C-alpha cells in the first residue's frame, strides 16, 4: 500500500510527495481522538507468551508428564556445543580420568541428541518404537566407552596413540 502511494506520488513530481505526506498527517479522524488510553500495565496473552516459564503452573500440567521445555533443551544443547570448543583442545594437553569422562560425555551427548533429532524427524513416522531401540544402543555404547575409560588407557590417550601411528 505504501509502495503504491509512493509510485503514485512519484509520477506527479517530488512536490506531490511532500504535499501528500503533510496533508495525511494533519487530518484528524474523530474515531481516533475519542478513544481513551490507559497507563496501567497490560497482562495480555502476548506478553505472557514471551515471559519465561519456571515450571508447570496449571493443575493439568502438574498431573501430566513433565518434560523439559523445548527452549530449555535447545539452550542446553547450545551450551554443550560451545563448551566442546574448549574441551576438545584441552583434551590434547590435559589427559587423565576426569578429562576422559568430560570428553566422552560431552561428545556422546552431543551426538546422541543430534541423531535423536534425526530419528524423530525422519523415522518416527514409519517406525514408532525407534526411540526405544536408539536408547538401548546408546546405553550400551556409553557403558562401553566408560568401560574403556576406566579399564583401559582412556579416550584421550587412545586418540594421542592413534595419532602417533
Which cell goes with 53? Answer: 516459564
Domain range for 156: 70-164
Burial of residue 81 (CB within 10 Å: 0-12, 13-18, 19+) is middle
Alpha carbon distance 87, 94 (integer Å): 10
pLDDT at 17 over 60: no
Q: Is residue 105 part of a domain?
A: yes
Give the pLDDT confidence score for residue 155 in this predicted structure. Answer: 93
Give the pLDDT confidence score for residue 131 in this predicted structure. Answer: 92
Q: Is residue 84 part of a domain?
A: yes
Res. 89 pLDDT band, cuts 50 70 90: very high
Q: Is residue 43 part of a domain?
A: no
Report the CATH number that the domain containing residue 155 is assigned in CATH: 1.20.1300.10
Taking residues 98-118, what's their average pLDDT? 95
pLDDT in tens, 20-78: 454 444 444 555 555 554 554 555 555 554 455 555 556 665 555 555 566 677 888 89
pLDDT in tens, 109-132: 999 999 999 999 999 889 999 999
- Tally of domains within the chain: 1
Give the pLDDT confidence score for residue 116 in this predicted structure. Answer: 93
Q: Is residue 118 part of a domain?
A: yes
List, as own/partner pairs, every contact residues 104-109 make where C-beta atoms lie below 8 angstroms and the sequence separation is at least 24, other chains included. 104/142, 104/145, 104/146, 104/149, 104/155, 106/80, 108/138, 108/141, 108/142, 108/145, 109/80
pLDDT-wise least confident of 70-79, 96-105, 151-160 = 70-79
pTM over 0.75: no
Res. 16 pLDDT band, cuts 50 70 90: very low
Amino acid at each position: 500500500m505504501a509502495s503504491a502511494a509512493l509510485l503514485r506520488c512519484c509520477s506527479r513530481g517530488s512536490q506531490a510527495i511532500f504535499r501528500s505526506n503533510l496533508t495525511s498527517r494533519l487530518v484528524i479522524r474523530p474515531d481516533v481522538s475519542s478513544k481513551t488510553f490507559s497507563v496501567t500495565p497490560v497482562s495480555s496473552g502476548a506478553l505472557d507468551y514471551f515471559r519465561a516459564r519456571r515450571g508447570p503452573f496449571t493443575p493439568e500440567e502438574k498431573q501430566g508428564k513433565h518434560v523439559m521445555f523445548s527452549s530449555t533443551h535447545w539452550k542446553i544443547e547450545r551450551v554443550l556445543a560451545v563448551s566442546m570448543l574448549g574441551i576438545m583442545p584441552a583434551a590434547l594437553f590435559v589427559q587423565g580420568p576426569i578429562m576422559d569422562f568430560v570428553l566422552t560425555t560431552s561428545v556422546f551427548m552431543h551426538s546422541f541428541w543430534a541423531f535423536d533429532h534425526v530419528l524423530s524427524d525422519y523415522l518416527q513416522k514409519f517406525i514408532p518404537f525407534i526411540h526405544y531401540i536408539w536408547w538401548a544402543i546408546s546405553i550400551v555404547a556409553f557403558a562401553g566407552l566408560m568401560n574403556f575409560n576406566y579399564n583401559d588407557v582412556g579416550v584421550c590417550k587412545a586418540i594421542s596413540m592413534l595419532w602417533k601411528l
